[in-house]
Structure 1
Amino acid sequence: MKKALLFLNGEPPKCLPNFTEYNFITCTDGAFLYLKERNFPVKKLDFISGDFDKRNKEEEHFSELIAYEHLNFIHTPDQNKTDFEKNLEILIQKKITDVDIYGGSGKEMDHFLGNLSVALKFKDQIKITFFDEFSSYFFAEKQTVLEDVKDKMISLYPFPSVENITTKGLNWELENATLNQLDKISTRNFAKENLVEVTFEEGNLLIFVDVN
Structure 2
Amino acid sequence: MIINLLAGGPVDYIPNLKEYDSYGKEEIVWAGIDRGVYHLLQFGIKPKVAFGDFDSVTEEEFQEIVCEVNELKRFHPEKDETDMELALNWAISQRPRKIHIFGGTGGRLDHFMANVSLLLKPLQVIEDCMVEIIDRNNIIFFKKPGIHSIERDAEKKYISFLPVSPEITGLTLKGFKYPLNNCHISIGSTLCISNELIINHGTFSFNQGILMVIRSRD
Q: Kindly tell me: are residues 133 and 67 of structure 1, through their superposed partners in 2, closer, same or farther at Cα, counting changes over 3 Å?
A: closer
Question: Retained in 2: the 8 A contact 1:76–1:86?
Answer: no
The residue that corresponds to 2:2 in the other structure is 3
Unaligned runs of 5+ in 2: none
Question: Retained in 2: the 8 A contact 1:28–1:49?
Answer: yes
Unaligned runs of 5+ in 1: none
Percent identical residues: 23
Q: Aligned residue pairs: how many?
A: 203
Runs of 4+ that moved beyond 4 A: none
User: 2: CA distance between counterparts of 1:88 and 1:66?
Assistant: 24
Give a deviation string over 1:53-88, Cα, whole Å, max 9, x none: 3xxxx3x53441223323121124471111111101
DSSP-derived class of the 2:164 partner: strand
Aligned with residue 144 of structure 1, among 143, 148, 154: 148
Q: Which amino acid aligns with 1:20?
A: S
Q: Which amino acid aligns with 2:63?
A: I
The residue that corresponds to 2:136 in the other structure is 133
- How far off its partner does 1:202 sit? 1.1
Q: Which amino acid aligns with 2:35?
A: G
Give a deviation string over 1:154-179, Cα, whole Å, max 9, x none: 11111143222111011111111122
TM-score (norm 2): 0.83
Moved more, 142-151 or 5-14: 142-151
DSSP-derived class of the 1:198 partner: strand
The residue that corresponds to 2:43 in the other structure is 40
The residue that corresponds to 1:205 in the other structure is 211
RMSD over equivalenced CA pairs, Å:
2.3
TM-score (norm 1): 0.85
DSSP-derived class of the 1:20 partner: coil
